[in-house]
Amino acid sequence: MMMTDRMLNQLHEHMERFRSRQTKEKLLIIFQGFDETFLTTLPYKKLVSAPLNQSIQALAQAKANLLPEVFQVIGNPDPSIYWATYEEYITLGKETILPLYFDLLFLRNNLFDKMYPCCYQIENDKLMRQYLETNEYLSDEEMPEGIHNVLEYYGEIRTIDGKLFISYTELPQNVVDFFIMEGEDVLIDQQSVYQECFLELSEDEEPFLSFLVKLTSGQLHQKKIVITYSGDLELFPHAYKKRLRVIQSLYRDQVQIVLTTKKLDAKPVPEERYLEILKKYWGYDSFRKLKMYRDVNETDKKKETIEISQGQIIDDLVQQAERAYQGQSYQDIFVTSPTGAGKSIMFQIPAIYLAQQYGLMTIVISPLIGLMTDQVQGLHNKNIDISATINSNLTPVEKQEIIEKIKAGQISILYISPETLLSRSDISDLIGERQIGLFVIDEAHIVTTWGKAFRSDYWYLGAYLQKLRKELPFPVATFTATAIYGGLEDMYAETRDSLGLIHPISYFGYIKRENIQIRIQQKEMSETKFKEYLDIKYKVLLFRLNRFLERREKTLVYFPMVRLIHEFLNFARSYGSKELVSHLCYYYGSLSKEKKNTHYLRFKNNESLIMLATKAFGMGIDIPDIRNVYHFAPTGNVCDYVQEIGRAARHLDKGYAYFDFLSKDFVHVKRLHGISTLRKQQLVQVVRKILNLAQDSKGQMQRNLLVSSDEFRYIFESSRNLDQVEDVDNKLKTALLIIEKDFKAKLNYSPIIARPRSLFTKEYFQVEPDVETELMQKYGRYFSRVSDYKGKSIIVCNLKELWQDYHPTMSFAQFKYFFHTKDPCLEFDFLHEIHPILFIDFSLSTRESTFLKEFGTILRAFNIVLGKFAQSGKYFTIEQFTQRLAHSLGKQMHKDKYYCENIATVFLTSAEAFERLNKKYANFYRSFLRMDEDRKRFTVNSNFSSFTEWLEIETQKILRQKGWSTRQLDHYEIYLSKKDRQKTEKSFLLFGLLEAMGLLVYSVIGGDNPEIYIRINSFYQLKRVVDNPDGYHNIVLSNVYERHRTSVDLLTHLFQKEVSTEVFWELIEDYFLGASLENILKKLDAIA
C-alpha cells in the first residue's frame, strides 16, 4: 500500500508539471508497462469501459464497441482527465482521432526497460510463447489461433517466476519516465570470480526481471543484493544503471544493492590429478605460469597482473563440468591467452580427464578444417586416440564411422565447425545418448568479427546452446588469443552475450609481447599515381627482404590482397636475385590445399626463409622461429595487426615487427572494408525482399517463410579480388542477424526471426516421360509430377521420406551426397535417368504490357546515362549515376532518389558479375566496365550495350518462350538445369535486376544452399523501414563502421608518429583494456 501511495504522489507531480503545457481541454494519460494493481487505484476516469482482466485478444476484437465510447467522451464539453492503457491506445487507432481531441501524456514504468509486466491475460499464452520462441518452421496454418491479434501489440512474451512479461511491437515517441526522482547511488565493491553473487548483468535481462518480480511481490528475503558486472556499465543494455538507482531509492528499506566487479585470484588447485595426464601424453612435469590481469574493471589498477597456473584454468573447467554433471549450479569460463601460451592443452586435459572419470563427451567448435585436423592429429601423435573431427573433407562413410565410434564410447573429443553442428537439429544424431561434459569454442573472437571474416553461424551458436542446455546441463568454455575488453569494441561482452555465457569465470591474458620489437618508419612520398605508389612499396620490400636474407632470418610478410602477392612475385623475379626468389613461398585462402601445405612445410622447415601471405596465414599456424613479421600494408583492424605481429618470436628471445608506412597504405584496408561490409541500402533491400516473398498469390501476407539465399543474390555483390570465396548464404545470414540485433536493441524484440535450417528436403528433376511412368509405378509415394517442359516431365522428389524409408542408418546429408553422385550403394536403378533442375517461380508486379513499358523506360534511361559516361571517358561515382537516373526516371516514372540509387548499385554489380562470367566462358571478351582502386569510381566504354542488349533479349525470352508453364495471369515458372552453371548464374543476374527495378518478385526452390526459416512478427516495423529508408538507422551497422574508423585512426597515428616499442605496447594495452581513441591519442601527443 505504501508503494502505491508513493506512486500516486509521483503521478500528482507529473500532472503539476504537465498542466503548464496543456493546450486542449481534455487530457489523456496513457500508461505503459504498469500492472493491474496500480491501475485500479488511479483517481481519474477511464477512457473506455474495457476491463483490465480480459484477454488481449478480447480487447483487439472490442474496437468497434469502444470507439463510440470515445466519441461520447469527445462530445462531452466538460474538461476532464482520462486514462487508458497503451494497449487500449493501440486498439483505438493510435494517431488517428485521439491527438485531435486530447493532450496526450505517455507515462512508462521505468523500473523496466523494454520488457514490461502485462496487465492483460493472453489466451493460450503457453502456445503463444512456444511459437515466438521456436526456431522450427511452422506454416501459417499451424500457428496458434489468435496469434495475429497478439502480434498487433506484443513482439515477445515471457513468463518469469509466474508473472507475464511482454515487449511492445512499437513504442511511443514522446514518452515520460514515471519515476522522476534522481535515485540513490548503489554501493560499488569488488569480489573474487569464485564468490557467489545474486546475479550478473548481461544482455540477457531475464535474471534481472526475476529479481524485480521477487522484490516487488515481497518474495525477496535478503537485505544485501550482490550484483556483478564486467565492462563499462554506461554501455550496458537495458538501462541497468538508471534502474538500479530507482530501485535503490524506492526500496531502500527492503534492500541494499551492491554492485561488484570481479577480480581474479590465484587459488590452491589439486594439480596432481591433471599432472598425470600432462606427464603421460605431453611429457611435462609442471604447468606453465600465465600472466593475467587481476581486475580489468578497476579503473586505477586495471593493468595490475597476477600469475596463474594453467592448472587453475584446467581445474575450473573440470570443476564446473562436475557440478553440471551432478545437477548443481555451474559457471562458464572465458579465457584470453596469447598464442603460444598452451591454449589447447587447457581444454584438452579436462576433456581427457572427464572422459576417463565419467565417460563424458567434449565438443570443440573450431573455425578451420586445417586447425581441427592438426589438433586431432597432434593428439593422435601423443597416443590420445579418443579424438576425431567431422568436416566437409571427409566422405559420408568416414563421417558415419566416427559417429558410430562416438556412440560406442570410443571417441570422446569431437572437433566440429559451427556450420556442421547447426545443420543437426538433434544433437543425438552426432553423439547418440552420450552426455556432454564440456563444450569448447576455440577462436571465439570470430563471434565479434563483423565484416570480411565474420561467420554468422558463430552467432547462431548462442540460440542453439541455449536450447540444448535447457535439457542437457554442461559448461561452455571459450578460448581466444585476441579480445578487446570494454569500450566501443567490447569483444568480451559481445562473446558473453551472444553465446549466453552463465556468470563466466574470466581470465584476461597479458597483452604486451615485450620480446617483439617494433620497427616503424614513415616514408615521404609526394602525390603519385597508385601504380607509382606500388612500385615504391615493392622496391622498399625488396630491399628489406635482401637484408633479412643476408642475416638468414625467417620472415613472414603480410599483404592485404592476393593480387599484391602475385605482383610482388613478378617484381622480385624481374629485379631480385635468384637466391631471393628461391626463398619465396606464398600462402592465401583460395590457394589449393596441396600448394598451401607444400609452401607451409617449406617455410616451417627453413627450405624457404620468406613467406608472402594474406591473413589466411593465421589461425592454426604454429611456427616457433619466425624472426621478422613485415607488413606490406595493414590487412585489417588493430586486433588483426597485433595478432599478426604476434606470430614472431614464439620460441625466440626476440623478434621484430617491421612496417614502412606510406600515406596510401590504408587504401587497401578501406577497400576491403567497403567490399566486405554490408551497407544500409542492402539491409533495406533484404527487408523489401522479405515483404515481397511474404505476399502470396492472393495478396495475403504469410508470416512463416522458407527462403533460399539465391533469392537475395542480387543484393550482395561479390569481388574476385578478395582472398576468400564470398558466400552469399553467409552474407544473407549476416544481414538478417544485423537487422535482428538492431531491432532487439531498440524494441527488445525483432520483427523478423531468421534461423538456418538443414538441407532442402524436396528437389526437382527432369525426366523422359517413359522413365516417369516406371518411376511412379515403383516409387510413386516419393515422386510427384509438376509439369511438362520441352517435351519432358518435371517431377519433385521428397528426398527426406525416401531416405527415411530406404536408408535410415545414413545421415540425411550422406544420403543426399550419394543420391546426387549416383552412388550404386543406394541401389536405385533410376539415378542416371533423372537430372536435377532449379525451379524459379516469379510474378510480375503489374500486367505484362505495363511491365514491358516500364522495363523499356528504365532500360532507355540506363542506355542514355551510360552512353554519356562512355562518351566522356571519365570516371563517375554511384552518386553521379544515381542523380542522372533520377533526373530521367523521376520525370517519366516518378521514381525517387532511393529507388534510383538502388537500381544503379545493382546494375553495376550485376554488370561486373556479367563480365566475370563472360571472361570465364569465352575465349575473347572485350570488357566495358572498370573501377578505380577503392571501387568508388567507375568508367565504361561503348561495349556496355552488350549488357543492356542481353537484358532486353533475355527479358523478352522469359515472357515469350514456349514450353514454360503459366499457372495464372502474370505468374510464371521456369526450370534451369543445374549442370548449365553459366546460364543459371546469368538467370540470377537477370531476375535480381528485374526485382531491383520493382518489376517482378522471384523465389527459388531446389538450390544448393540450405534453407533459412524466417518468421515475421511485425509487418508494421518492416514496412516502416521500406517506406522510409532514409529514416532507417541500424545501430549495429553504425557500430561496425565506427569500429573500423577508430581502428584505422589509431593505426594511422601510431605509424605516423613512428612510435617506439615501449610506446606501441603501452598504447595497444590501453586500447585492448577499453580506453577510448580520444584518450589514447591524448596520451600519444603527451608522449610525443
pLDDT tens digits, one per residue of 571-621: 999 999 999 999 999 999 888 888 988 999 999 999 999 999 998 888 767
pLDDT of the residue at 389: 93
Convert the pLDDT of each residue in 255-269 to its tens digit.
Answer: 899 999 888 888 888
14, 87, 705, 796 from 61: Cα distances, Å: 32, 12, 27, 43
**527 within some domain:** yes
Residue 83 main-chain phi, psi, to 5 deg: -140, 160
What single string gives the DSSP state of each residue in 329-386?
----EEEE--TTS-TTHHHHHHHHHHHHHH--EEEEE-S-HHHHHHHHHHHHHTT--S
Residues 602 and 749 in one domain: no
Flag whether pLDDT at 1012 surpasses 50. yes
**What confidence tens digit (pLDDT) does each residue in 597-609 have?**
899 999 999 999 9
Instruction: Compute the distance between CA of residue 488 and CA of residue 448 in angstroms, rounded to an integer.
Output: 12
The 584-587 sheet, strands edge to edge: 516-522, 655-661, 628-631, 555-558, 610-613, 584-587
The reply to whether 1086 falls in a domain is no
How far apart CA 704 and CA 701 sit, in angstroms, is: 9
Mean pLDDT of 790-812: 83
Do 8 and 109 share a domain, yes or no? yes
For CA atoms 250, 253, 255, 256, give the dihedral sign.
positive
Summarised one tens digit per residue, pLDDT across range 683-730 is 999 999 999 999 876 668 888 888 888 889 889 865 544 444 457 888
What does DSSP say about strands 966-968 and 971-977: parallel, antiparallel, or unpaired?
antiparallel
1081 within a domain of the structure (yes/no) = no
pLDDT of residue 1088: 65
Which of 227, 262, 297 is at the close of a domain? 262
Average pLDDT, integer, range 146-153: 88
- Give the whole-angstrom CA distance, residue 1081 versus residue 1065: 14
Query: CA–CA distance from 331 to each of 147, 501, 503, 900 (Å)?
Result: 37, 8, 5, 53
For the record, the C-alpha cell of 694 comes out as 511474404
Of 483, 508, 533, the position where a domain reaches its end is: 508
pLDDT (0 to 100) of residue 487: 79
CA distance 288 to 487: 31
Checking if the pLDDT of 731 tops 70, the result is: yes
The closest of 652, 665, 638 to 1065, measured between CA atoms, is: 638
Higher-confidence position of 952 and 23:
952
> Same domain for 790 and 732?
no
Written in H, E and C, the secondary structure of 765-821 is: EEECHHHHHHHHHHHCCCEEEEEEECCEEEEEEEHHHHHHHHCCCCCHHHHHHHHHC
Residue at 1054 is within a domain: no
Mean pLDDT over the full length of the chain:
87
Of 146-150, 394-398, 961-965, which has the strongest mean pLDDT?
146-150
Find how far residue 968's CA is from the centre of its chain.
39
53 with 120, same domain: the answer is yes
Section 860-876 average pLDDT: 93
The set of long-range contacts for 897-904, using a CB threshold of 8 Å and a minimum separation of 24, is 898/1029, 898/1030, 899/998, 901/681, 902/681, 902/685, 902/996, 903/858, 903/993, 903/996, 903/997, 904/878
Higher pLDDT, 189 or 624: 624
Confidence at residue 301, expressed as pLDDT on a 0 to 100 scale: 83
Q: How confident is the model at residue 966 (pLDDT cuts 50, 70, 90)?
A: very low
| Residue 673: per-residue pLDDT | 60
Whether 682 and 540 map to the same domain: the answer is no
Q: Which of 200, 228, 262 is at the close of a domain?
A: 262
DSSP state of 298: -
Side chain identity at 98, as an amino acid letter?
A: L
Amino acid at 165: F
Distance CA 606, CA 587 (A): 15
Helix (H) or strand (E) holding 1023: helix 1019-1027
What is the average pLDDT across 95-99? 78
The grid coordinates of residue 392 equal 566437409
Domain that holds residue 856: 842-1005
Do 206 and 111 share a structural domain? Answer: no
Do 223 and 204 belong to one domain?
Answer: yes
The one-character DSSP state at 651 is S
Q: What is the pLDDT of residue 61?
A: 92
Could you read off the pLDDT of 1023-1067 as tens digits, one per residue? 999 999 989 999 988 888 888 888 889 998 999 899 999 999 999
Give the model's pLDDT for residue 679: 86
d(CA 275, CA 909): 58
Beta-strand relationship, 256-263 and 224-228: parallel
Same-domain pairing of 491 and 349 = yes
Cβ(454)–Cβ(737) below 8 Å: no
* Type of residue found at 1078: E
pLDDT in tens, 761-772: 778 899 998 888
Question: Containing H/E element for 1063?
Answer: helix 1061-1072
Specify the pLDDT at position 719.
52
Q: Identify whether 1067 is part of a domain.
A: no
Per the domain annotation, does 439 fall within a domain? yes
Based on the domain organization, do 824 and 960 belong to the same domain? no
Residues 525, 527, 530, 532, CA torsion sign: negative
Stretch 959-979: mean pLDDT, rounded? Answer: 67
Give the per-residue pLDDT at 965. 44
The model's pLDDT over 191-213, given as tens digits with 9 standing for 90+, comes to: 888 888 888 898 889 999 999 99
Is the same domain home to 631 and 780? no
CA separation, residue 157 to residues 9, 116, 121, 163, 421 (Å): 31, 10, 11, 11, 28
Residues 923-946 pLDDT 10s: 677 888 988 766 778 999 999 999
State how far the Cα of 675 lies from the Cα of 698, in Å rounded to an integer.
Answer: 39
Rg of the chain taking only CA atoms, in angstroms: 32
Task: Write the CATH number for 325.
Answer: 3.40.50.300
How far is Cα 255 from Cα 224, in angstroms, rounded to an integer?
6
Closest CA to 566 of 670, 674, 721, 671: 721
Q: What is the spatial distance between Cα 636 and Cα 482, in angstroms, rounded to a whole number?
A: 14
Sign of the dihedral defined by the CA atoms of residues 717, 723, 725, 731, in that order = negative
Residue 669 CA neighbour count, 13 Å, CB half = 26
Q: What is the pLDDT of residue 449?
A: 65
Burial 847-872 (b: 16+ CB within 10 A, else e): eeeebbebbeebbebbeebbeebbee
Q: In the predicted model, is pLDDT for residue 346 greater than 50?
A: yes
**Residue 538's pLDDT band (cuts 50, 70, 90):** very high
In a domain, 1063, yes or no: no
pLDDT number for residue 721:
46
Q: Provide the residue count of the chain.
A: 1088
| pLDDT surpasses 60 at 968 | no
Name, in order, each residue with C-beta under 8 angstroms of 872's C-beta and a sequence gap of 6 or more: none
Q: How far is CA 10 from CA 254, 702, 872, in A?
A: 20, 45, 70
How many domains in the chain? Answer: 7
Residue 497 included in any domain: yes
Tell whether 557 and 575 lie within a shared domain: yes
What does the H/E/C string look like for 594-649? HHHHHHHHHHHCCCCCEEEECCCCCCCCCCCCCCEEEECCCCCCHHHHHHHHCCCC
Same domain flag for 999 and 1024 = no
899 dihedral zone (left: phi>0; alpha: psi -120 to 50; beta):
alpha
pLDDT (0 to 100) of residue 91: 93
pLDDT at residue 443 tops 80: yes
The predicted model gives 95-118 an average pLDDT of: 90
DSSP-based three-state secondary structure for 727: coil
**DSSP collapsed to 3 states, 413-476:** EEEECHHHHHCCCCCHHHHCCCCEEEEEEECHHHHHCCCCCCCHHHHHHHHHHHHHHCCCCCCE
State pLDDT tens for residues 126-137: 888 877 777 677
- The grid coordinates listed for 748 are 527488445
